[in-house]
Amino acid sequence: MVLYHQLKMNEEKNFNIEEHELVPKHIKLTEEEKNKLLNELNISLRQLPMILASDPMAKKLDAKPGDIIKIIRKSPTAKESIYYRVVVHG
């Protein structure tokens, strides 16, 4: 059982989640970009959908609670769709 867990951990360390075809591009916004977005949309952080700090991509970006992540998804109709998520504990 211990060997299985060691192998699993090694697989996770060697696997680059960003390169998986089903994972959209994630970008952590700078503080300036974050403030600009909130002002342009006239919203607060609480009004954004959430992403957990334990999410694999949030961890990869070293995102902390309160950070905003921009997610760019491929779209068959619009070529790409942009979504924003605020990082929360979890």
Tens-digit pLDDT profile for residues 59-89: 999 999 999 999 999 888 889 999 999 999 9
DSSP secondary structure string for all residues of 54-87: TSHHHHHTT--TT-EEEEEEEETTTEEEEEEEEE
**72: closest CA among 81, 85, 59?**
81
User: What kind of architecture, by CATH, is found in domain 2-88?
Assistant: Alpha-Beta Complex (3.90)
Domain ranges of the chain: 2-88
Question: Residue 60: which region, alpha, beta or left (left: phi > 0; alpha: psi -120 to 50)?
Answer: alpha
CA distance 34 to 41: 11
Would the pTM of this model clear 0.75, i.e. be above it? Answer: yes
Q: If you ran DSSP here, which 8-state letter would residue 23 be given?
A: S
Tens-digit pLDDT profile for residues 3-42: 444 444 545 566 787 777 778 999 999 999 999 999 999 9
